[in-house]
């Protein structure tokens, strides 16, 4: 892998959430490396909200690197329905995993934050220095803040214990393998699904949440995996780092684009009684480039085209997050001694 030109400095890697949307890309890239021992625990086997499972995971696998991707995630609707769960589970997973990793002699931990951690009215592009300048947008604050506590823990643990934890903040992700369940999906899979189903029904319109005026930045999932692994290999500082493209698109322009790619010819009706969420999102992506040479590669339209194509060919299974049995087997690779 080109990002590991000087070799990958770890041998035993635990990727929590490694069977999830982003996790599958990260694990697949690590597995290509050949010499690494990669373990992707499932929630059914190690519930990381539970401290004793977290301890057992680290005792059994003895990783030198932990990439923490496990999280309870979802779109605005899911965040609004279960703010307590989004807060508690994400907070507990992060706090316990970082503490237990330190106690078990892990050499490095990569923690994934989220753009939802930024204050609601951050000036664009969002700079890492602005992370603490206000409260996040209320629809995703419990999730964003729970994850942001990993930054506090990471910085204080580096200071007190010299524990090497880094904290990355990806933009909204999309791509093949995304979650298309209407109850929990993010905006891109939700819109793709609505447009395709409307086309098939011959419907004249689709409904979309909010006003369409909000903007978002979208990072292709494989690009995000690349950024996570570059940072894992070579970034060892306590300052948080954004992972994104540096470009934004309004939701209304996004709907037009998805309408075209899904061949849905009807109109869009905006549901003004539903929230827009944060008004704008665009990240300053210069630090990731300076510190570990990360630059997103996938143009949005091409990434969307691949996502639509993936969904159209796998619709039968996508509602259950499309963890196919084959993929499960690959990811369940047990820790080698």
Ligand X SMILES: NC(=O)c1ccc[n+]([C@@H]2O[C@H](COP(=O)([O-])OP(=O)(O)OC[C@H]3O[C@@H](n4cnc5c(N)ncnc54)[C@H](OP(=O)(O)O)[C@@H]3O)[C@@H](O)[C@H]2O)c1
Task: Give the Cα separation of 194 and 285 in Å (integer).
Answer: 31
Site string for ligand X, 100-129 (x = CB under 6 A): ------------x-x---------------
Residue partners of 68: CB distance under 8 A and separation at least 6: 16, 17, 93, 94, 97, 98, 109, 110, 111, 112, 150
Among 42, 55, 138, 315, binds ligand X (CB under 6 A): 42
Among 15, 27, 30, 71, binds ligand X (CB under 6 A): 71
State the minimum distance, in angstroms, from the CB of residue 20 to ligand X. Answer: 2
Active site residue 143: yes
Task: Give the Cα separation of 51 and 65 in Å (integer).
Answer: 19
Contacting range for ligand X; rule: CB under 6 A; set: 3-11, 27-35, 165-173, 286-294? 165-173
Among 66, 78, 173, 304, binds ligand X (CB under 6 A): 173
Residue 151 binds to ligand X (criterion: CB under 6 A): no
Taking the least distance from each CB to ligand X, the nearer of 37 and 114 is 114
Taking the least distance from each CB to ligand X, the nearer of 265 and 279 is 279
Query: Which residue is catalytic, options 143, 174, 220, 311?
Result: 143
State the minimum distance, in angstroms, from the CB of residue 18 to ligand X. Answer: 7
Alpha helices for the chain (secondary structure H): 21-32, 51-61, 76-81, 83-103, 141-161, 187-201, 221-234, 251-261, 286-292, 300-313, 325-331
Task: Give the Cα separation of 59 and 117 in Å (integer).
Answer: 31
Task: Name the phi and psi angles at 178, rounded to 5.
Answer: -65, 165
Residue partners of 322: CB distance under 8 A and separation at least 6: 177, 180, 314
Residue partners of 158: CB distance under 8 A and separation at least 6: 164, 165, 238
Among 8, 13, 17, 215, binds ligand X (CB under 6 A): 17
Q: What is the DSSP letter of 164?
A: E
Alpha helices for 104-217 (secondary structure H): 141-161, 187-201
State the minimum distance, in angstroms, from the CB of residue 287 to ligand X. Answer: 17
State the minimum distance, in angstroms, from the CB of residue 88 to ligand X. Answer: 10
Residue 78 binds to ligand X (criterion: CB under 6 A): no
State the minimum distance, in angstroms, from the CB of residue 214 to ligand X. Answer: 15
The residues annotated as belonging to the active site are 143
Give contact residues for ligand X (rule: CB under 6 A): 16-17, 19-23, 42-43, 46-49, 69-73, 89, 93, 112, 114, 147, 170, 172-173, 179, 186
């Amino acid at each position: 892998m080109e990002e590991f030109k000087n070799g990958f400095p770890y041998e035993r890697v635990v990727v929590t959430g490694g069977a999830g949307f982003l996790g599958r890309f990260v694990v697949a890239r690590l597995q290509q490396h050949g010499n690494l021992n990669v373990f992707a625990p499932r929630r059914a086997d190690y519930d990381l909200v539970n401290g004793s499972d977290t301890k057992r995971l680290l005792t059994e696998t003895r990783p030198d690197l932990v990439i923490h991707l496990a999280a309870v995630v979802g779109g605005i609707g899911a965040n609004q329905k279960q703010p307590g769960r989004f807060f508690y589970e994400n907070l507990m997973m992060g706090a316990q995993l970082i503490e237990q990793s330190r106690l078990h002699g892990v050499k490095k931990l990569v923690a994934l934050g989220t753009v939802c951690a930024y204050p609601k009215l951050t000036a664009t592009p969002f700079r890492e220095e602005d992370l603490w300048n206000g409260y996040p947008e209320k629809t995703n604050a419990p999730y964003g803040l729970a994850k942001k506590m990993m930054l506090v823990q990471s910085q204080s643990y580096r200071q007190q214990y010299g524990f090497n934890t880094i904290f990355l903040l990806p933009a909204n992700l999309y791509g093949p393998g995304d979650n298309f369940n209407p109850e929990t999906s993010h905006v891109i899979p939700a819109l793709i699904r609505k447009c395709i189903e409307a086309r098939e029904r011959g419907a004249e319109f689709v409904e979309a949440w909010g006003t369409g005026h909000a903007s978002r930045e979208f990072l292709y999932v494989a690009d995000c995996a690349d950024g996570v692994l570059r940072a894992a290999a070579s970034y060892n500082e306590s300052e948080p780092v954004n992972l994104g493209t540096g470009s934004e698109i309004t939701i209304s322009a996004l709907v037009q684009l998805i309408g075209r790619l899904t061949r849905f010819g009807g109109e869009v009706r905006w549901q003004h009684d539903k929230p827009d969420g944060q008004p704008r999102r665009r990240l300053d992506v210069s630090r990731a480039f300076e510190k570990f040479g990360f630059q997103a590669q996938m143009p949005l339209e091409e990434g969307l085209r691949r996502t639509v194509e993936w969904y159209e060919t796998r619709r039968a299974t996508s509602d259950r997050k499309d963890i196919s049995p084959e993929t499960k087997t690959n990811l369940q690779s047990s820790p080698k001694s």
